[in-house]
Amino acid sequence: MEQSEKRALLEEIQSLLAYGGPAPSIDPALLEYLDTEALTTIRDRLKEKTATLKEEDKEWLAKFRREE
């Protein structure tokens, strides 16, 4: 059960890192080294940061990703 919970957290982290664009790929091998608590902390911090992004910041990030 813990492995599936860790995978779900990793997917959520990838989604949060995407900022509405294509989700980055995070190597699932990291799940071996990170416990559920660490992944939850990462997810929660990303949620806090993405919640405070202004709409202008989101637009700027979207332009930056398209140019790559």
DSSP string, 1-60: -HHHHHHHHHHHHHHHHHTTSPPPP--GGGGGT--HHHHHHHHHHHHHHHHH--HHHHHH
d(CA 56, CA 68): 19
Q: pLDDT (tens digit, 9 = 90+) per residue, 12-63?
A: 998 888 876 777 888 888 888 999 999 999 999 988 887 777 666 777 777 7
Q: Is 68 in a helix, a strand, or coil?
A: coil
pTM: 0.68
